Amino acid sequence: MAVFQKKRLQRCLQVAGPRKELTIASLGCLLGSTLLLLAVQLYQDINHYLEQNEGPKNYFTMNKKVEGGALVNLGKKDESFSPEELQAIQALEGVKRIGGFKRNQFPVTVYIWPTGKVGLGSAAKADLFFESIPDAFLDFVPKEWKWEENATLVPIMVPKFYLDLWNFGLAPSRVEYPSLSTEAATGMPIEIFIGRQRTTTLDGRFVAFSKRINSVLVPESFLAWANKKFAEPAKDDFFFLWKDSVIDGPPRSRSQLLEMVDEPAFSSWEISPLGDPAKKVPASSLLSSSKKKPQPSRIILEIMDTPSAALLQFIEENHYELNREFPEQDFLKKAMSGLFLGIAAVGGLLSILSIATFASSFRLLVSKASVHSRNLLLLGFSEKEITSVFFFRFLRLFTWNLSLSVLLGLFCNYVMMNQVKEFGIVLSPWLYANSLLFLGLYSFCFLAVNRLVIKNAVQELTA
Amino acid sequence: MLIELEKVAPFPLPTKIVQESEIWGADISFPPKSASLLSAQSGMGKSTLLHLIYGLRKDFSGKVLINGQDTRDIPHQNWENVRKTSISMVFQDLRLFPHLSARDNILLIPTQNETIPAMEEMADRLGMSPFLDHKVSTLSHGQRQRIAIIRALSKPFQLLLLDEPFSHLDEANQLQASLLIQEITERNGASMILSSLGTTPPLNFDHQYSL
């Protein structure tokens, strides 16, 4: 149809629409499509974020439950897994492999220098611990992840969220601590002080940030060396020395007692453990008993999928605890899913109401122009041509609404983007391709429904 | 275009009128390129007959055939095409768009008849040139009738239906309009059926029927 003819047709069928209904429908369409667009955009942003910060899906750590108050636990009850227990866990259904955490047996204090230079500015100081696990359980092995005796630097790996805690927790509250990018954090010199009197100082460096292991990790080789060199005797390695049925001086360590083995009276002496002084045994029994090999108190498990029923039952029966690494991902996922569903539901409802209001408004519009429409049909214009006039009018209104909702959506997205930036969540300032695809589908549905309604209304004129 | 009526009788028409009519209940044909006059007083079914042929009403007995095809068998979409390209009509109530200008009313047709004189020329011959840009709502009924005639002639057609087209025209205007109608109908090689309230317009008719 020629352009002039189209314009003449539009002029001919130009009747005032129901303003109030059309305003309500437009508002509903504007808000509904904005909310739906935001929901789709948010869904993708969150998925993107979770993909980048995804915690391990099939890695869990396990330990024995720590119960009781601080005073009770000062007694250092043994929480480690025995070899038999480890064997039983390994044999459970769905468990692919297990690995034990080894920990330091000496006090560690670290000074972290965020300015990048030791002695410059303020250092973050903390009493710390080190753990190591077999490299096979690491999410990745950095190239700096090796340590040999006399190496100048101890590589350290911490969870990625430690850096987030630094950036969004510690740094904003302390003027002397700057926020750190991953690159900047790996450049920070770290002084490692070993021993209660800080007798030994080593240099350390964060070499990577793990998304799987929730611990402060150092290479196994370093920890084995350091434990051998700096380990303080464990509590069960100290004994009371009995000479002639009287306790002789302060408790002595196993190594101190072994140094006294050549003394003539050694065979007549007795010893008893610190925890049970009455349980005396001959001092010579030290020679036959070997030092107990330390067992891991925390293990990491790789399982097939979600924990099997057998594994959960075993944990329950043995009073163990199973921890999935970085569980906050689940919370975030649930919170965001809820937010997404909420926004999508409100947006969808508004859109449906808007479609219904538009439909009834345009039926009324066709009805108001029915005399002219009928005359045009009698002149030989087709129903399709008449329908297209009303549909074009709707299309114009819808295009305005959709354009405004895209602008409003982008604005809301921008505001949200700035709000959540503080939490380390980065939102895309632009629409994703999928959002555009959604807009296309949404428009198609909106237009198809209203075109059908208008077409039926025009058809009813000739019925 | 051949129009045939086979014992057609519209439902609401009284039996007496049907029995006394030359058209109702009879077998009549309107041959191609013929001009027919339907003459009757009000209420005898002139408009009804033209509406039956134009496919606006289906409440009748008998058959209306267009080129041998029963109008009841013509699908809805084909009727659109028939009205667009084959049959043109001047309605008794004109069916103009009062909020548009006379020019827009004439131009607002789905397809233009390429064989007719220019719109301005036809308007000039019917004395309507000064009123082309006037809104139809401001024109007299006689002026509106002339606009409706020009619009009907502007469409392509093989059959022209005119329902009391001169009811508000004086003799001079009737003559001018008749000449224009005759000329364009002949140029198109079309047939024509005209209804009137008993008077005979200044046109050459091949058949005259009394309803």
- A115 in Cβ contact with A129 (< 8 Å): no
Q: Residue count of chain A, please give it.
A: 463
Q: Residue count of chain B, please give it.
A: 211
- Name the residue among B56, B100, B110 with its Cβ closest to that of A379: B110
| Residue A458, number of CB atoms within 10 A of its CB | 25
Confidence at A72, pLDDT banded by 50, 70, 90 = very low
Confidence at A314, pLDDT banded by 50, 70, 90 = confident
Question: How far apart, in whole angstroms, are the C-alpha atoms of residue A104 and residue A232?
Answer: 10
Confidence at A235, pLDDT banded by 50, 70, 90 = low
- What is the predicted pLDDT for the residue at A172? 76
Residue B7 inside a domain? The answer is no
More confident residue, B156 or A55: B156
ipTM computed for the complex: 0.90
Confidence at A74, pLDDT banded by 50, 70, 90 = very low
Q: Are strands B60-66 and B69-70 parallel, antiparallel or unpaired?
A: antiparallel
- What is the predicted pLDDT for the residue at A75? 46
Interface contact flag, B108 A462, Cβ < 8 Å? no
Average pLDDT of every residue of chain A:
83
How would you write the pLDDT of chain B (211 residues) with one tens digit per residue?
899 999 999 887 777 777 788 898 899 999 999 999 999 888 888 999 999 999 998 889 999 999 999 999 999 889 999 999 999 999 999 999 999 999 999 999 988 888 888 999 999 999 999 999 999 999 999 999 999 999 999 999 999 999 999 989 999 999 999 999 999 999 999 999 999 988 888 888 999 998 8
Interface contact flag, B85 A380, Cβ < 8 Å? yes
- What is the predicted pLDDT for the residue at A424? 64
Q: Which tens digit of pLDDT belongs to each residue from A318-369?
A: 888 877 655 455 666 777 788 888 999 999 999 999 999 999 999 999 999 9
- Name the residue among A4, A372, A380 with its Cβ closest to that of B110: A380
- Name the minimum distance, in Å, from the CA of A445 to any CA of chain B: 27
Question: How far apart, in whole angstroms, are the C-alpha atoms of residue B113 and residue B84?
Answer: 10
Q: State whether residue B74 sits within 8 Å of chain A by CB.
A: no
Question: How far apart, in whole angstroms, are the C-alpha atoms of residue B87 and residue B74?
Answer: 14
Residue B12 inside a domain? The answer is no
Chain B contacts in chain A segment 368-427 (CB below 8 A): 372, 375-383, 385
Residue B163 inside a domain? The answer is yes
- What is the predicted pLDDT for the residue at A73? 47
- What is the predicted pLDDT for the residue at A236? 62
Q: Which tens digit of pLDDT belongs to each residue from A192-233?
A: 998 877 888 899 999 988 877 888 999 999 988 888 888 776
| Residue A230, number of CB atoms within 10 A of its CB | 16
Q: Which of A33-37, A211-215, A273-277 has the lowest mean pLDDT?
A: A273-277
Q: Which tens digit of pLDDT belongs to each residue from A390-407?
A: 999 999 999 999 999 999
Mean pLDDT is highest, among A90-104, A267-281, A382-396, for A382-396
Helix/strand/coil for A131: strand
Question: How far apart, in whole angstroms, are the C-alpha atoms of residue B181 and residue B170?
Answer: 16
Residue B196 inside a domain? The answer is yes
- What is the predicted pLDDT for the residue at B108? 92
Residue B1 inside a domain? The answer is no
Question: How far apart, in whole angstroms, are the C-alpha atoms of residue A169 and residue A181?
Answer: 14
Tell me the mean pLDDT in the region A256-263: 80
Mutate to test the interface with B, among A10, A379, A386, A460 (most CBs of B within 10 A): A379
Using N-to-C axis directions, what is the helix angle for A370-379 and A328-368, rounded to 10°? 70
CATH number, residue B107: 3.40.50.300
Q: How far is CA B85 from the centre of its chain?
A: 14
- What is the predicted pLDDT for the residue at B133? 96
Domain range for B140? 31-42+66-210
Asked if residue A1 has pLDDT above 60, the reply is no
- Name the minimum distance, in Å, from the CA of A455 to any CA of chain B: 14
Residue B138 inside a domain? The answer is yes
Residue A66 phi/psi, 5-degree rounding, is -95, 120
- A164 in Cβ contact with A115 (< 8 Å): no
More confident residue, A72 or A164: A164
Place of tokens 């190594």: A255
Helix/strand/coil for B38: strand
- What is the predicted pLDDT for the residue at A224? 87
Question: How far apart, in whole angstroms, are the C-alpha atoms of residue A459 and residue A444?
Answer: 22
Asked if residue A71 has pLDDT above 70, the reply is no
Residue B151 inside a domain? The answer is yes
Sequence-distant (≥ 6) Cβ neighbours of residue B131 within 8 angstroms = B102, B123, B139, B143, B147
Q: Are strands B159-163 and B87-90 parallel, antiparallel or unpaired?
A: parallel
Interface contact flag, B110 A381, Cβ < 8 Å? yes
Sequence-distant (≥ 6) Cβ neighbours of residue A41 within 8 angstroms = A409, A413, A427, A428, A431, A432, A435
In whole angstroms, how far apart are CA B120 and each of A78, B113, B136? 110, 14, 16
The residue ranges of DSSP E strands in B26-108, in sequence order, are 27-30, 35-39, 60-66, 69-70, 87-90
- What is the predicted pLDDT for the residue at A317? 85
In whole angstroms, how far apart are CA A93 and each of A54, A87, A89, A305, A375? 25, 12, 9, 11, 80
How many domains, in total, are found in chain B? 1
